Amino acid sequence: MPGPSPGKGLWENGYMWPSNALTERLKLKYPILQAPMGSASTPALAAAVTNVGGLGGLGMWGRTAEQAARRIAGFRQQSGGSLNVNYPIWPDPRCAPEITDAMRRHLQLRYDAHGLGAVPEPKGEVSDVGPDHVALLLETKPEVVSFHFGLPEPEVLRAIKSAGMFVISSATTVAEARRLEQSGVDAIIAQGTEAGGHRATFTGTDMSMQPGLFSLLPQIADAVSVPVIAAGGVADGRTTAAAFMLGASAVQVGTAFLRCEEADVLDAHRAALAEANDACTVVTDVISGRACRYIRNKLIDDLIESGLQPLPVPAQQSLTRPLSDTGHRDWTALTAGQSAALARDTNAAELVERLAEETARRLRAFS
Ligand SMILES: Cc1cc2nc3c(=O)[nH]c(=O)nc-3n(C[C@H](O)[C@H](O)[C@H](O)COP(=O)(O)O)c2cc1C
């Protein structure tokens, strides 16, 4: 594992920040990545993170190439620094009619209670970084392209890598990390079970068995030779310092950035994050069709109690989204990780600077 190189690094806050393949290549002042988080990660959020010395990320979940182009242009207008563009990978969602009908019937009563009309037919298609997205990436050349739920087809990966973009994907087990390394990624995100958002697994790992970051991170760091980025529960100086001690070359932070004013987050979601505690989240596939960690609420309990099988991602999400869009706290998808209570209302520059300062202080205390 390429750890900190002695004598290299940035003297900041009285601490020599580890310099490694990742920070050098991406010219990062701080080894802090803002997780790309679907629509919550706005161009303003990503630009603010990059401008202060971290790495900003834009999620392209369900976006057309035109929409993706607008988001990248929005970032470039606000920052001349590095950008991480992120794609989820999933197959065409095949919805069995009997499963679809049962789910639509169940949701109709909930739609009626909110005056939402008829539950629509489920929507959604394959997410595989198609030719229009590849063309966009080759034209706009974001410094980093990252993937969730595995990797796209080898020829897509080759095209992106040949154009000089740095490729990252997430692993939830050592076996997944080894597979990503063999496929040629430049860095691996170790995603612990604490993480907010979707489980990154692409091998069908039973998510009740997903390891916590404290166990996963050192084992992935031992198993691969590319830099490892820690994700899941990293939200303050203590958790960031711990990640470096456990073998990380950088951290990727999601939930704490949801509290930033630049994030696109519903008021009800912000209120729930502000009241979160250590034991308020649950991993379930009932909202989107794929295992994801949320603050538990009525929407989740209702769907779990129904015993109905969710449709595959993103078809299930297309049915629950109108309820979520009502902005009613009981019926909105409140995505969050287990360390939500460590975060506070802030802005992106302040959060990155605070993480850097607190981490440096923690690490200095042990040096
Ligand atoms: C609201 C939200 C949306 C997310 N969306 C994505 C995404 O689109 N792509 C991705 O790679 N990871 C996504 N993630 C997961 C993060 O990459 C990361 O694994 C996680 O946020 C780290 O844990 P933390 O939330 O405790 O910081 C999302 C996380 C959150 C909280």
Strand order in the sheet with 228-231: 32-34, 250-253, 228-231, 187-191, 166-171, 144-148, 83-88, 56-59
Report the C-alpha gap between 291 and 288 in whole angstroms.
Answer: 8
Distance 231 CA to ligand 1 centre (A): 8
Report which protein residue has its CA nearest ligand 1's atom 4. Answer: 37
- Claim to verify: residue 165 and residue 277 sit in the same structural domain: no
- Claim to verify: residue 290 and residue 330 sit in the same structural domain: yes
Q: Is 103 in the pocket of ligand 1 (CB under 6 A)?
A: no
- Claim to verify: residue 359 and residue 326 sit in the same structural domain: no
- Claim to verify: residue 83 and residue 156 sit in the same structural domain: yes
Name residue, tokens 């994700």.
231
Quick: pLDDT tens for 210-264: 999 999 999 999 999 999 999 999 999 999 999 999 999 999 999 999 999 999 9
- Claim to verify: residue 225 and residue 320 sit in the same structural domain: no
Name residue, tokens 């001690």.
245
- Claim to verify: residue 179 and residue 80 sit in the same structural domain: yes
Q: How far apart are the first and last CA of the chain?
A: 21
Report the C-alpha gap between 249 and 22 in whole angstroms.
Answer: 7
Closest atom of ligand 1 to 336 CA is 31
Report the C-alpha gap between 26 and 18 in whole angstroms.
Answer: 14
Most ligand 1 atoms within 8 A of CB, residue of 39, 84, 127, 148 to mutate: 148
290 three-class SS: coil
Quick: pLDDT tens for 140-190: 999 999 999 999 999 999 999 999 999 999 999 999 999 999 999 999 999
What average pLDDT does range 49-73 have in this prediction? 97
What average pLDDT does range 295-317 have in this prediction? 98
pLDDT at 2: 40
pTM, 2 dp: 0.96
Closest atom of ligand 1 to 338 CA is 26
Domains: count for the chain: 2
- Claim to verify: residue 248 and residue 295 sit in the same structural domain: no
Q: Is 36 in the pocket of ligand 1 (CB under 6 A)?
A: yes
CB 298 within 8 A of CB 341: no
Band of pLDDT at residue 330, cut at 50, 70 and 90 = very high
What average pLDDT does range 263-283 have in this prediction? 98
Distances, alpha carbon 246 to alpha carbons 25, 107, 173, 216, 356, in Å: 22, 44, 15, 9, 17
**What percent of the chain is modeled with pLDDT above 90?**
90
- Claim to verify: residue 354 and residue 336 sit in the same structural domain: no
Instruction: Give the CATH number of the domain where residue 197 resides.
Output: 3.20.20.70
pLDDT at 16 over 90: no
pLDDT at 3 over 60: no
Residue 305 is given by DSSP the state H
Query: 299: domain range?
Result: 94-124+268-342
* Nearest to 54, CA basis, from 362, 260, 359, 353: 353
Most ligand 1 atoms within 8 A of CB, residue of 37, 144, 332 to mutate: 37
Closest atom of ligand 1 to 339 CA is 26
- Claim to verify: residue 249 and residue 275 sit in the same structural domain: no
Q: Is 260 in the pocket of ligand 1 (CB under 6 A)?
A: no
The structure tokens listed for 163 are 């154009």
Q: Is 232 in the pocket of ligand 1 (CB under 6 A)?
A: yes
pLDDT at 4 over 50: no
- Which bin fits 287, alpha (ψ -120 to 50), beta or left (φ > 0)? alpha
Q: Is 30 in the pocket of ligand 1 (CB under 6 A)?
A: no
Q: Is 37 in the pocket of ligand 1 (CB under 6 A)?
A: yes
Distance 235 CA to ligand 1 centre (A): 12
Name the H helices within the chain: 21-26, 43-52, 65-78, 97-113, 131-140, 154-162, 174-182, 213-223, 237-245, 255-258, 267-274, 298-306, 315-325, 348-365
- Claim to verify: residue 167 and residue 105 sit in the same structural domain: no
The structure tokens listed for 103 are 């789910």
- Claim to verify: residue 325 and residue 253 sit in the same structural domain: no
- Claim to verify: residue 224 and residue 202 sit in the same structural domain: yes
Q: Is 255 in the pocket of ligand 1 (CB under 6 A)?
A: yes
pLDDT at 5: 40
Backbone angles phi, psi at 306, to 5 degrees: -65, -25
Band of pLDDT at residue 367, cut at 50, 70 and 90 = confident
What average pLDDT does range 38-44 have in this prediction? 97
Most ligand 1 atoms within 8 A of CB, residue of 198, 281, 295, 317 to mutate: 198
Band of pLDDT at residue 77, cut at 50, 70 and 90 = very high
What average pLDDT does range 105-114 have in this prediction? 98
